[in-house]
Amino acid sequence: MKRIALLPAAAIVGLLFFQASQKPEAEKHPDFLLFDAKMPANVKAIVDQKCYGCHNAESKNEKGKKKLDWDFFEAEKKSKQLATMSKINEVLTEGDMPPARFLENKPEGKLSEEEMAILKEWSAGKKKKGE
Amino acid sequence: MKVWHYSGLVVALIILGIQLVPTELPEVTQDNPGDLIGSRIVDGEVADLLQTACYNCHSNVTQYPWYSHVAPVSWLVAKDVKMAREEVNFSIWSEYELMDQLAILDDIYSTVEEKHMPLPIYITMHAEADLDDTQRQKIIEWAEAAMDILAEEY
């Protein structure tokens, strides 16, 4: 009798484990909200090499992960992607990324002039009509 | 006792003295044709909330209380308002590029949600700017919807 009473409890505990182990999945959005242009390959290559190390879903760098998570970027809706690009453009223009402290230990992480130019051009987005 | 009187006088003189340090509070202009309020992306209740909780620093229509003219408070107010307007000035909304407007709205979403804004020190002197959870929710929902509207233009 006691064992049967335990079953529902075990089921609930099991359910909790099931939920906890679910991987967080980026919210899917209807197609009309999706950014039509996927990230260009040359941009993606630089991002993978120079940014992704801190800005990813598994990153131990909590601040970096919170500010920008490349694993979610392409699944985000268009408005959010554009806002993110705009902020990327700002930190690159200000020279705030990659952080100076990070580069002290890892000078090879610095963006080359060419890489910087490619990222800046991409993150600036297309200009408004008439410009 | 005499020493006590003497030091009181010194403090009074210092406070009087610092009033002579020139401090310029950022200018107020009432006519702002490019203001966010008046653009098509905001109206009604959210516009009221923004005006009550944000506009005193993040616009050109700052209402300076009497104490903001008295040093050393005036120094803090001048610095905060100046920095606030540099970060985002809703009175010149139409001058921002579309991409910048999107970034600003995204920042509004996160700073309001995470309660980083309005600044705690501001709320202590301006209880009306202390947004409750329902009001914060209204602002963040508006910010997200406004971003979608703007992104359509891209």
pLDDT exceeds 60 at position A31: no
Please list, residue by residue across A78-115, b when 16 or more beta carbons sit within 10 angstroms of its beta carbon and e when fewer do: bbbbbbbbbbbbeebeeeebbeeebeeeeeeeebeeeb
**Is the pLDDT higher at A32 or at B105?**
B105
The total domain count for chain B is 1
In a domain, B64, yes or no: yes
In a domain, B45, yes or no: yes
Min Cα–Cα distance to chain B from A25, Å: 20
Q: What is the mean pLDDT of residues A43-64?
A: 84
Q: Is B144 in contact with A82 (Cβ distance < 8 A)? A: no
Sign of the four-CA dihedral B50, B51, B56, B61: positive
Min Cα–Cα distance to chain B from A96, Å: 16
B88, B95, B100, B102: best mutation site toward chain A, by most A Cβ within 10 Å? B102
Residues of chain A with pLDDT > 90: what percent?
A: 9
Query: Cβ contacts (< 8 Å) between B148 and chain A: which residues?
Result: 33, 77, 79
Closest residue of chain A to B100, computed from CA coordinates:
A86
Q: Which two tokens stand for residue A119?
A: 């990222």
Query: Cβ contacts (< 8 Å) between A120 and chain B: which residues?
Result: none
A42 CB neighbour count, 10 Å cutoff: 13
- With a CB cutoff of 8 Å and minimum separation 6, the contacts of A126 are B154
Q: What is the mean pLDDT of residues A94-119?
A: 87
In a domain, B82, yes or no: yes
Q: Is A90 in contact with B106 (Cβ distance < 8 A)? A: no
Taking the whole predicted model, whether its pTM rises above 0.80 is answered as no
Q: Is A83 in contact with B106 (Cβ distance < 8 A)? A: yes
Can you list the residues of chain B whose pLDDT is less than 50?
none
Q: Is B103 in contact with A83 (Cβ distance < 8 A)? A: yes
Please provide the average confidence, as pLDDT, over all residues in chain A.
Answer: 75
CB B105 within 8 A of CB B97: no
Min Cα–Cα distance to chain B from A77, Å: 9
pLDDT exceeds 90 at position A37: no
Cα–Cα distance, B108 to B99 (Å, whole number): 14
In a domain, B40, yes or no: yes
pLDDT band at A64 (very low <50, low <70, confident <90, very high): confident
- The ipTM (two decimal places) reads 0.79
Write down the pLDDT at residue A6: 65
Q: Is B103 in contact with A77 (Cβ distance < 8 A)? A: no
Cα–Cα distance, A88 to A91 (Å, whole number): 5
In a domain, B81, yes or no: yes
Query: Cβ contacts (< 8 Å) between B99 and chain A: which residues?
Result: 82-83, 85-86, 89, 124-125
| Secondary structure of chain B as H, E, C letters | CHHHHHHHHHHHHHHHHHCCCCCCCCCCCCCCCCCCECECCCCHHHHHHHHHHCCCCCCCCCCCCHHHHCCCHHHHHHHHHHHHHHHCCHHHHHHCCHHHHHHHHHHHHHHHHCCCCCCHHHHHHCHHHCCCHHHHHHHHHHHHHHHHHHHHHC
Number of cross-chain residue pairs from A and B with Cβ atoms under 8 Å apart:
41
In a domain, B86, yes or no: yes
Q: Which amino acid is at A62?
A: E
- With a CB cutoff of 8 Å and minimum separation 6, the contacts of A91 are A97
In a domain, B11, yes or no: no
Write down the pLDDT at residue A11: 58
At which residue do the structure tokens 């223009």 appear?
A93
pLDDT exceeds 50 at position A33: no
Q: Which amino acid is at B104?
A: I
Range of the domain at B90: 24-153
Q: What is the pLDDT of residues A75-102, one digit of tens each?
A: 888 899 999 999 999 999 998 888 888 8
CB B27 within 8 A of CB B78: no
pLDDT exceeds 80 at position A18: no
Min Cα–Cα distance to chain B from A8, Å: 37
Closest residue of chain A to B149, computed from CA coordinates:
A79
